[in-house]
Amino acid sequence: MKKNTDIRTLSDKLFSAKRVVLFPHENPDGDSTGACIALSLALREAGVECFVCSERPPKYLDFLNTEMFTDDCEALQPPYISAAIDCSETKRLDKRADAFEKGSEKLCIDHHLNDVGFGDLYYIDEEAAAACEIIYEVIKEAAIPMTRDIANALYTGIVTDTGGFRYSNTTAHTHLLAADLMKTGVDHVDIMVNLYNNKDRIKVFCEAKAIDKMLFFAEGRGVISYLTSGEMAEMNAHSQHADEIIDRLRDIDGVEMAAYLEERENGIKVSMRAKTTSNVADICIRNGGGGHAKAAGCTIDDTMENVFALIKHEMEDALS
């Protein structure tokens, strides 16, 4: 754990403020979205004006209340407290970094591997399965009632970052916290159906294309695939349509380590997963990224051909 503060101090700072702006990482996922929704709802319940400065979450999260999200950072006039949520470094705030820096105080609440925290106050619990676990504690510390909407958002974040409680980051504490949230009336079935049983057709097309192009190596223990920007355009696909490809690759029998590469405007986005004993965070950290031992990523400013060769070589070394 890396911190220069504690849960009580974070909670007091946030819930005593007049205005708070939350900043999830770029391309918000279920955990960052759920954490921001839950915290913003709790802050508003306490009379704090709160917005989430971010692009809209992916379509599969439409069942959650996302009305507090805005990508018009210029409309968010100081003074306000800035809080980066589920974000390991300022570069993952992309174009919103300036808005984050305008905060009278800057907080960071995260659970990713990170050598150095950022902001005036930072709390990084690498043992937490999801950022939503930490936000749960922040809200409980403020003695804000755990409404069904808040609990739904937190439960969604925990479910997505643990892969439905299948990943190795799942702990006894994770299950106890989830059980406590379910006592509020969380609709477990509805959330699971929305997350895993209502897949967009374009997402299926993306997965099929990537699976068709996958390359196995290291006696089948490694697999890598990619999609170019041209291929994405042909399918009218966006990054959110490809966010589960890496999981499809990792789930193949015999695969220990998987990588999915996607061509974007700022370079090649690399997503990596490990199944049992391997550590993909080491590879991503060496290449300017970060994450967890079993789930990590980075963005490399180079050609697809070069990045493909680099990541494949790194994986081969790790698997040897």
pLDDT of 116 above 80: no
pLDDT, average across residues 229-252: 95
30 — pLDDT class (breaks 50, 70, 90): very high
* Cβ atoms of 262 and 235 closer than 8 Å: no
- Report helix, strand and coil shares of the chain as percent, to nearest 5: 45, 20, 35
Give the model's pLDDT for residue 291.
85
Give the model's pLDDT for residue 240.
86
pLDDT of 115 above 70: no
Q: Give residue limits of the domains in the chain.
A: 2-196, 201-319
Give the integer Cα–Cα distance in Å for 210 and 35. 30
CATH number (3.30.230.10, 3.40.50.300, 3.90.1640.10, 3.20.20.140) of 2-196 reads 3.90.1640.10
Architecture of the domain whose range is 201-319: Roll (3.10)
Give the model's pLDDT for residue 101.
94
Q: Give one word for 119, left, alpha or beta, with left for phi > 0 and alpha for psi -120 to 50.
A: left
pLDDT, average across residues 210-230: 97
Is there a shared CATH topology between the 2-196 domain and the 201-319 domain?
Answer: no
Q: Which of 305, 295, 310, 302 is nearest to 257 (CA)?
A: 295
pLDDT, average across residues 134-153: 97
- Helix, strand or coil for residue 297? strand
Give the model's pLDDT for residue 290.
86
Q: How far is CA 178 from CA 25, 31, 63, in A?
A: 23, 14, 19
pLDDT of 35 above 80: yes
DSSP state of 113: B
H or E element in which residue 173 lies: helix 172-182
At residue 272's C-alpha, the angle toward residues 168 and 224, to 5°, is 125
257 — pLDDT class (breaks 50, 70, 90): very high
pTM attached to this predicted model: 0.84
- pLDDT 10s digits, 154-211: 999 999 999 999 888 999 999 999 999 999 989 899 999 999 999 899 999 999 999 9
**Tokens for 65?**
């209340």
Give the lowest-confidence range in 25-39, 49-63, 108-122: 108-122
Give the model's pLDDT for residue 113.
74
H or E element in which residue 207 lies: helix 201-212
Q: Over the chain, what is the mean pLDDT?
A: 94
H or E element in which residue 84 lies: strand 81-85
- Written as one letter, the residue type at 194 is N
Give the model's pLDDT for residue 3.
86
As to burial, measured by CB atoms within 10 angstroms (0-12 exposed, 13-18 middle, 19+ buried), residue 47 is exposed
213 — pLDDT class (breaks 50, 70, 90): very high
Higher-confidence residue of 187 and 43: namely: 43
* φ/ψ (deg, to 5) at 308: -55, -45
Give the lowest-confidence range in 29-33, 147-151, 165-169, 172-176: 165-169
